[in-house]
Amino acid sequence: MAAEEENDVVELEESITKEKTTKKKKISISKTQDDLMVFLAGIKGISEVMKKRLHKVLGSQGITDPRGIKTHTLKQLMELPGVSENTAKLLLEEVESNQGKLFLSLDEREQIEVKRKKIMTGSLELDELIGGGIPTGTFVELYGSPQSGKTQICYTISANCLLPKEFGGLEAGVIWLDTEGSFNTQRLKQIISYYEYTHGIKNVKTNRFMVANTRTLAQVELALKEAGSIIPKNRVKLMIIDSLMDPFRAEYGGLGELAVRQKHLNKLLHMLMRLAEAYDIAVVYTNQVMANPDPFATAMDKVMPTGGFILGHASDIRIWLRRATSKIRNQHDAPNARRALITDCGWLPQNECHFSLGPFGVCDVDQEANHIKLAGELGVLFESVSEGEETEAKTEFATLD
C-alpha cells in the first residue's frame, strides 16, 4: 500500500513538472509571436527562414508592426539588406490586403472621417475655426512671425493630447522634433499643471511625451525612422515639428541649391504623410515667414511662409498667426491676443478668429485676465509681450470687428 502511494506521489510530481514546462514553452512562444511575426507568418511565397530574417531586418528599421511597412515605399524596402523586389512587393501587397478594399463609398469614407479624433487647442474660438479641434491623420501648418504664438499652440495641444479622455484629452502619446533648440520642459509642465489644478486631475501621465533634438536634416530623418517603434508603443496621436523649414534653410543656401532643397523637402514630407496615414496621427509643424519683395503685393501677401509650393500643397490646414490689433486687445483686456486666419484648407472656409496666450498656454481672449489672476494666486511667473501696434491686414474673407 505504501509503495502504491509512493508511485502516486511520483506520478503527481511528474505531471506538475510537465505542466510547468508546457506553460514555460507557451509563454516563450507568445513572447516571440508579436504582431509583425504574425503578419509575416501569413504571407505565402516567402520561406520560413526568410520570414525570420525579415523580422530582424524590419525591426532594425524601427518597424515593429505591419503598419510600419506602409511608411516605406517599394524602393525603400528594396534597399533593406536581403530584401528583393519580389519580397518587397509581397510585403506591400499583404499590408494593403489587410487594410480592406481600396475603393470606398461616400458613406464609408464619411465613417472614417467621423472616427478621427480631435485634439483641443485650449481656445473654443480656435477649435471652432478648425472644425472642433485638430483632426488626427492630417497635416496642419502654423506660420507667422516670431512671438505670433506658433510654439505656444504646440505646447497646449501637446498637453491636451496627454490629458485623460474624461477631461477632453486623447490620453495618447506625443512626439516633438525640436529643430530650433527652443523646447522648454518647464513651459509644458506649467500648462499641464493648469489642467491638473482646474480639472482636479492627479498626475497627468507624461511618460508618453517624447522629444528629440533634431538640429540637422540627418537627425530629423533618423528621428522619423526611430518613430516607427515609438509610435505604437506609446500610442502616439500627435507629432510636432518646431520648425520644419529651419534645418532646410540652414543646410541649403542660395538659389543654386533651391531645386535640390525642394526635392529633399518633398521626400521628407512624403515620409511624414505615410506616418500620418499608417498610424492615424496629426502632424503639426510650425513654419517661418519671409517678406514678399513684390512691390504690388497686397497687405495679406506681404508676408509669405517659407517652403514654396511644395510645402503649400502638402498642408491640409494652413493657419497664419499674427498679433491682434490694439482695438481687440483693449476691448477684451487681453494684451497677448492673437489672430488665427485659415489661408488654405480643402474643407474649411477661409475665416479667422482671436485667441490669447496666457500663463497656461492658449485660451480665449475673454479668459486671459482670469488666467493671469490665477497665475498670480499660484505664484506662476508670466511675462506679457511688449506692447506694439500692428496694422490691420484687410482681406476679402475676414471681417471681424
> Which domains does the chain carry?
25-98 (1.10.150), 113-378 (3.40.50.300)
Instruction: Give dist(CA 41, CA 218) in Å, integer.
Output: 34
For residues 252 and 261, the answer to whether their CB atoms sit within 8 Å is yes
Dihedral-angle region of residue 116 (phi above 0 means left; psi in -120 to 50 means alpha; beta otherwise):
beta
Give the whole-angstrom CA distance, residue 100 versus residue 360: 43
Q: Residue 15: pLDDT band by 50, 70, 90 thresholds? A: low
Q: CA torsion sign, 383 to 389 to 394 to 398?
A: positive
**Per-residue confidence (pLDDT) for residue 30, from 0 to 100:** 37
pLDDT bucket at 28, cuts 50 / 70 / 90: very low
Mean pLDDT of the chain: 84
For the cut 80, the answer to whether the pLDDT of residue 175 exceeds it is: yes
Q: Cα separation of 165 and 323, whole Å?
A: 32
pLDDT beyond 80 at 31? no
pLDDT of residue 220: 95
Give the integer Cα–Cα distance in Å for 306 and 121. 24
Q: Give the pLDDT band of residue 304 (cuts 50, 70, 90).
A: confident
Q: What is the pTM of this model?
A: 0.83
Q: Is the pLDDT of residue 384 over 70?
A: no
Residue 276 has pLDDT above 80, yes or no: yes
What per-residue string of b and e applies to 172-206 under the rule 16 or more CB within 10 Å gives b? Answer: bbbbbbbbeeebeeeebebbbbbbbeeeebeebee
Q: Name the burial class of residue 261, with classes exposed (0-12), middle (13-18) and buried (19+) by CB atoms within 10 angstroms of its CB.
A: buried
C-alpha cell at 319: 493657419
* Per-residue pLDDT at 307: 92
Q: How confident is the model over 185-242, as pLDDT tens digits?
A: 999 999 999 998 888 888 888 999 999 999 999 999 999 988 988 998 899 999 999 9
Q: Residue 101: what pLDDT?
A: 73
The pLDDT-based confidence of 360 (bands split at 50, 70, 90) is very high
Question: Given pLDDT bands bounded at 50, 70 and 90, which one contains residue 18?
Answer: low
Cis preceding-peptide flag for 145 (omega within 30 of 0):
no
Q: Say how far apart CA 348 and CA 131 lie, in whole Å.
A: 8
Residue 300 confidence (pLDDT):
67
Give the integer Cα–Cα distance in Å for 193 and 63: 35
Instruction: Specify the pLDDT at position 215.
Output: 94
Q: Please tell me which residue, 296 or 17, carries the higher pLDDT value.
A: 296
Per-residue model confidence (pLDDT) at position 383: 61
Residue 122: what pLDDT? 94
pLDDT exceeds cutoff 80 at 2: no
Q: Report the pLDDT value the prediction gives residue 299, as an integer from 0 to 100.
A: 65
In this predicted structure, the answer to whether residue 394 has a pLDDT above a threshold of 50 is no
Q: At what angle do helices 150-162 and 185-199 cross, to 10 degrees?
A: 50
Q: State residue 253's pLDDT score.
A: 83
Q: What is the pLDDT of residue 398?
A: 35
pLDDT at 382: 62
